[in-house]
Structure 1
Amino acid sequence: MRFTIDEYAKTFKMSKEMIQNKIRTKRLNYIIEGGLTYIIVPRSSLDEEKRQEIAQNIKPSSPPASTPQKTTVGMIIALYQKENQQLKLKIKELEAKVDRLVNDKEQMLIAERERIEEIYTAKDEQLKNLLEVINTKLLLSQGNAVHDVDITATAPIAPTLPNGVIELKRYLKFIGMGSEERKAVKRRFELAFGSDIRIIQKEGEFYVDLSKYDYTDFLS
């Protein structure tokens, strides 16, 4: 036997709210057909008095006589399959949302790591340039401790340069000369080497002694 919610409430003297609660908590067997909820009550579960009362007062809802419908195992299975499919779709949607959130978080972490690496790389470059400038200034400030160096075309250069002597390319970079200007100055030093006592060379590199000589003519 099956009843609508209204019929079930009248027959079993129960409020609709209580019936809805029992349906939600699966304490009542029910099916949904055509948008209506029908509560299934096995006839064997009713005593004789209740059966007679139902027969006298309420005619349980049933399909037209010409098209009788019975609740079958197949209908119940189909209902569970439909609910199961809906649950699978919801699970897929949740999994997709989780994947998007994880991917967004990973992208944010990668971007943050790259930004930090760029900051530290820039800081390292700035520190390197600062140390070069400080080192050059220290060499310039030691000009009062310079020793004479005997430079000739054939005489070997002393193993250690005297204090105050600075590598030419470092000095030119320190005073802000561009790459092309530094190349031009180096060519002038190469042409004057051997004939100008101011030109100092060691292991193929040129040096200047600013504490003793003026190199303005080479720089202009």
Structure 2
Amino acid sequence: MDLSEAHALLDPAPLALETGYERLASGVLHVACRTELHGCTGEMFEWWFRFRPNTQQYIWWHPADHVSSAWAEAQDGTHIGSIHLVEEHFSGSPAEKLAIQFRHPHEYFDAAAYDEARDRGAISAAVCGRVGMGDAPARTGSGEILGGRLLHMGRDTPSGMALRSHFYLGEDMPAQGHGAEEIKAAFPDAFGQALLMHCYNEFTFLSRFLPSLYIAEHRDSVKVRLPW
């Protein structure tokens, strides 16, 4: 599924690739991961990125792989526009520095179709962005980070939230003059497997503490139901 076909994520119907990785004709590596976040909601998921976890909280998110967390260009009340500067391993690989620039979902989906899907509950969370290598990756003249793309799309279910995570690694490389073989060398299939394992594990870890943390941060405005 090319990035241009990502509108399929607005429909809960199963995709041909829900979990796995594939090499696109352009050479771009597409990684898909579906995770069930039991007890979580889309509101909690989006709030986690507005909360902007520090290094200690980032390590909670993945105790084995995550190393450090910092934030740049952050704005109050939204994660959109902020840049998450992280260092992390991918399932045992050497640590990498990444810059994740969060963007509005309308950049990736038709605005009317996205809003309609959100209104009818087909989507309850959307965290989308651009991913560059290093803490100061290349940018376009208007400030967009060059590199890959990530799309985290959530849907509330009776047991929690179903999360679809899709990554497009090397998405900007064809426009920069790099051929398919160069992209494959930069992002080999083994990296796709490592990212898939990392993604599934980190969001499984997140689901274990996110509800409690969200309630603790909103206890004056959220009605808490205790089990006794």
- TM class, shorter-chain normalised? under 0.3
> Which one has a larger percent strand, Structure 1 or Structure 2?
2
Higher RCO (C-alpha 8 Å, min separation 6): 2
Instruction: Answer 1 or 2: which has greater helix percent.
Output: 1
TM-score normalised per structure 2: 0.19
Larger-gyration structure (1/2): 1
